[in-house]
Structure 1
């Protein structure tokens, strides 16, 4: 998955497939359109995504009483932020007609971050779904702690890194038509076939099965127990479940088209113009996940908005007054005393520092 790629077939899909010696029926489809439209779209996604993820990271880190779900949200935001920080390299390559000018090391680094973002994102969404199942179906589980959640997220990052080993081996700068291109230089169509299956099965199909299974069990438990629990508890459960459903739904909407087209490309030896456009749009849609996900949390998750607004309220409620300090020598000096207005004590109101996803 690389933004600069507009070529399909066996010498296509920089970052996700291979380049072979067999030339395609055509190399580019309306390259001018892609060169002008997609860099602008990617630039907007990158700018908005960095700001949104930065706000989410800030909202989580300022929270003193972090919940388990906070850790998942924080790691998801960090993964998206890392990817967005290397997106300008892809935009530059797209503007330069796929020409790579940053050297072999940066080629490997950018593609590794790109691919690891896919595995990290789906990994965190998967374990988040499992966590939601445990929180609602087995709320007294002793394993659901901040410490265990941190360890689980570390394992997700480690697993994502290990799954990018093929990318580290095959991503390199190659000379193609008098132009240096950053690409996955696999040996032929068979390698492309196996790598595509490897990426789609481990990065989408298996996680999708796990997500569907656990979320179905969670929904079944929530709706079957509404009559047997207090209304307040059932409202909380449904609210938390809906929020996670939004995260999962957004992931599926953004990533399903990309993986479907990747699999279709294996047997598509003569891609049409529509297929090329669909492929590039699917890449753009997958990129948008890193931007839309934090925006969705900031818009629909009330606790994150409250944290950001709470900081502003605290700053505006600070009152400054001048006090006179009498020194030992008899002189005086004016000092500014800052007093902070404490928030009202209301036992019915949950603390703003507590997060429930």
Structure 2
């Protein structure tokens, strides 16, 4: 089947996200798993959960690729349709909540350092993580409710996955989407913005921190806010537009594309948030370069031997 330029764009975004995001998140998951196992810290627990969410999203992304390759028609077993959409949307809001949690951790660390050290308990991060997973998946279970809602005409187009909603389905779906915009996007975004602006303001006023560390911390804060705006804002704006017009926007698929990139942008946040991730990345790069040099070194004697044999034959 020949893909339209629009479908080619969607497929390209999915492939780039999968190829770059999967190895980066596997590396992050391994690093944070080791850290949490040996010495659990709240921020490491939050980042570990964020990497788990991204990995789940990436593992289900090939189902979306198959859908695009099939001309946006669902050719896989039908039970995978609501499941893949449930995973797709849940991980979006799990990311917003965990990014908010990381911002709160960083803000408390500079605003209330003494109290933060006293109450620096991993159990709080675990409880927050459970809450984030539950509230996200509970909201996104609307996918199952809507997908199996009996349409008014008594038939259901099983070749189209989670599109072409009936009036009855929209009456359920649109209010929930608007609530998700308020609860799962606006609230985390406002809290994250407040925490990082306050974090930057306090950090700039501290004289005993080097300029390089300040610049890196500020860059991380601004980068996280940028991810919020670029990745999550377009999709959530579609909820507002859909609620006002009382219809599912046709450009909603395009608004989802930036949120897809979040899975390969989160590892950048992991890298600048953890020195362990930085060391692990450096070790991986040095290991790969070492293997390349070893392969090149092994080939040199062989090439020299062939050269020697050729010279001997000429003599």
TM range (shorter): 0.7 to 0.9
Give the structure 1 partner of residue 267 of structure 2: 294
Q: Please identify which structure carries the higher helix content.
A: 2
CA contact (8 A) 1:83 1:113 kept: yes
Q: Is contact 1:107–1:172 with CA below 8 Å preserved after alignment?
A: no
The separation in 2 between residues aligned to 1:172 and 1:96, in whole angstroms, is 22
Q: Distance in 2 between matches of 1:133 and 1:296?
A: 16
- Counterpart-to-counterpart distance in 2, 1:65 and 1:215: 26
Where do 5+ consecutive residues of structure 2 fail to align? Answer: 291-315
Q: Per-residue displacement from partner, 1:28-47 (whole Å, max 9, x unpaired)? A: xx972223332233122112
Question: 5 Å matches for 1:183-222?
Answer: 183=162, 185=165, 187=168, 189-222=170-203
- Asked if 1:157 corresponds to 2:133, the answer is yes
CA change 1:215–1:316 in 2 (3 A) is: closer
Equivalenced residue count is 279
- Pairwise CA distance, 1:116: 1.0
In the alignment, which of 192, 197, 217 is matched to residue 240 of structure 1?
217
Aligned counterpart for 1:226 among listed residues 187, 196, 206: 206
| Cα deviation code 1:95-123 (max 9, x no counterpart) | 21232233343222211111211221111
Partner of 2:145: 169
Task: State the partner residue of 2:297.
Answer: none
Q: Over residues 236-286 of structure 1, what are the superposed CA-to-partner deviations in whole Å (9 max), with x where a residue is unaligned? A: 566435324322321222111222234234445899xxx95x644322111
Task: Judge conservation of contact 2:170–2:246 (CA < 8 Å) in 1.
Answer: no
8 Å contact kept, 1:172–1:182:
no
- TM score, norm. by length of structure 2: 0.75
Q: Distance in 2 between matches of 1:33 and 1:203?
A: 32
Aligned counterpart for 2:14 among listed residues 21, 36, 42: 42
- 1:95-134 aligned within 5 A: 95-134=69-108
Normalising by the residue count of structure 1, what TM-score does the alignment of the two structures yield?
Answer: 0.67
Instruction: Please name the residue that 1:145 is paired with.
Output: 121
Instruction: Show the 5 A alignment for 1:228-307.
Output: 230-232=208-210, 236=213, 239-267=216-244, 279-295=252-268, 297-298=270-271, 303-307=276-280
Q: Give the match's secondary structure for 1:62.
A: helix
CA distance in 2, matches of 1:299, 1:135: 16
Normalized per residue, the structure richer in strand is 1
1:92 is aligned to 66
Cα 1:181–1:55 change in 2 (3 A) is same
Q: Secondary structure at the match of 1:253?
A: helix
Q: CA RMSD in A?
A: 3.4
Distance 1:209 1:299, change over 3 A: closer
- Counterparts in 2 of 1:181 and 1:313: CA distance versus 1, 3 Å: closer
Q: Relative to structure 2, which stretch is displaced further, 308-317 or 136-145?
A: 308-317
Tell me which of 154, 161, 166 is aligned to 1:182.
161
Query: How many Å separate the matches in 2 of 1:79 and 1:240?
Result: 24
Equivalent residue, structure 2, for 1:76: 50
The 3-state SS of whatever aligns with 2:241 is helix
Q: Secondary structure at the match of 1:103?
A: coil
